[in-house]
Amino acid sequence: MKQLVQFLKWGVLAPLSLCIGLVQAQGFPNKPIKILVPFGPGGSGDITARAFAQYLEAQFKQAVVIENKPGANGILGTDVVKNSPADGYTLLLTTNTTLAANLSLYKKVPYEPLKDFEHLGLFGTAASVAMVSKDSGIRTPADLTAYAKANPGKVFFGHYNSASQMTAEMFKVKTGAPMTGVPYKSIGTALQDFYGGQLQVLFLEYLPAMAQIDNPKSTAIGVTGATRFKPWPNIPAIGETYPGYELGFFLGLAAPAGTPGDVAAKLSGAISSALKDEAFLARLAKLGLEPSKISKADYPRFIQSEITRWSQVIKDAGIQPE
C-alpha cells in the first residue's frame, strides 16, 4: 500500500512539476531581473554587467537592475546568489576571483563553483596595467623593480580582487621586488589612496584603467597580458622585460543551481546573441574585453582549468590561505 501511495505521489507530482517549470520558462521574464556584482562599482565586472544589462533590457523588454554587494573578495555577494531562488531573476556576475582564486586564497569558501551555480556563459577575458605615480620617476617595469629593491618596506600596492592582487604578487615572484599588499573593498578607495600617495603601484584591469590612463598624475609602465594591448601600443607587456610573466582574468554570468533548464537556456542564448551583436561587441572592445569563443557546454571545463591555474599561481607566490 505504501509503495502504491509513493507511486501515485510521484506519478502525479512529477508531470505537474514539469508543467509548472514549462509555464515559468514560457513566461520568463515577467518581472525585473537583478544582476548582482560581488564587488564595488567602477570595476571591470561592474562595467561589463551594466553593459550586458542594457542589452538584456532591450531583448527581454524588462528592467535589469545591477546590485553591487562587495565584501570578502567577492565571497559575500556570491554566497547571496547561491542562496537566492533558482528562478532566473537573480543572476551573478562571475570572475576568476570568485570562481577560481578564492578557492586557494581562503581556507573555507561557502560555495562550490561547479556545483552551486548554473553557469550561463562567458563574456570574455582581459588583462591589467601597472600604474605608478608620475612623480615617482618610475617609467618601466625594470624601474619599479629597482625602486622597490632600493626602498624595501616602502613600496605598497593596493588590491581589491584577485586580478589586482595576483598580478602584483606574480611581479614580486618574477622580479624579487619587495612590495607589500594592502587590501581594499573597492577599486574606488584603492584609487583614492593611490592618488593620495599611500600606494606606490596599482594594477588596474583594462576596463577601469581607461579612465585613468591619461591622468597627468600617473604613468602606465606595463600590461599583464601576453602581448601589448592594441589601444595602448606604446605600453609594453611586462613579459617583454620579464619572460614568462602573464596573467589575465575572465568575466561571466551564472544563476543559482537548479534554475529551470528552459530559463537557463533563454539567458544563455541572450549571452550568445550579445556576443554576435556588433553594437555590444563594439562596447566590449572599448572596455578592453576580448569576446569569448567558449561555448556554454565547454564553459565548466574552462572554469576547472582556471581553478587549477590560479591554484598554481597562488602557490608560486607563497600565499597562505586565510
Residue 159 has pLDDT above 70, yes or no: yes
Q: String of b and e for 219-239 (b: at least 16 CB within 10 Å)?
A: bbbbbbbeebbeebeebbbbb
Tell me: the pLDDT tens digits for 163-218?
899 999 999 999 999 999 999 988 899 999 999 999 999 999 998 898 899 999 99
> Given this model, what pLDDT does residue 103 score?
96
Domain ranges of the chain: 31-126+249-316, 128-241
Name the fold adopted by 31-126+249-316.
D-Maltodextrin-Binding Protein; domain 2 (3.40.190)
Task: Tell me if 31-126+249-316 shares its fold with 128-241.
Answer: yes
**For the whole model, what pTM was predicted?**
0.80
Give 17's strand partners: none
Tell me: the pLDDT tens digits for 76-135?
999 999 999 999 999 999 999 999 999 999 999 999 999 999 999 999 999 999 999 999
What number is the average pLDDT over the span 223-234? 93
Confidence of residue 11 (pLDDT cuts 50, 70, 90): low
Please report, as a single letter, which amino acid is at residue 292: S
Reduced to 3 states (helix: H, G, I; strand: E, B; else coil), residue 249 is strand
Percent of the chain with pLDDT over 70: 92
Q: Give kind and range of the element (H or E) at residue 255.
A: strand 249-256
Residue 17 has pLDDT above 50, yes or no: no
Instruction: Write the CA distances from 77 to 20, 50, 227, integer angstroms.
Output: 29, 16, 33
**Do the Cβ atoms of 62 and 29 come closer than 8 Å?**
yes
**Do the Cβ atoms of 194 and 202 come closer than 8 Å?**
yes
Least confident of 5-14, 145-154, 253-262: 5-14
Distance, CA of 309 to CA of 104 (rounded, Å):
10
The CATH number that domain 128-241 falls under is 3.40.190.10
Residue 10 has pLDDT above 90, yes or no: no
Place of cell 598580478: 167
Residue 7 has pLDDT above 50, yes or no: no
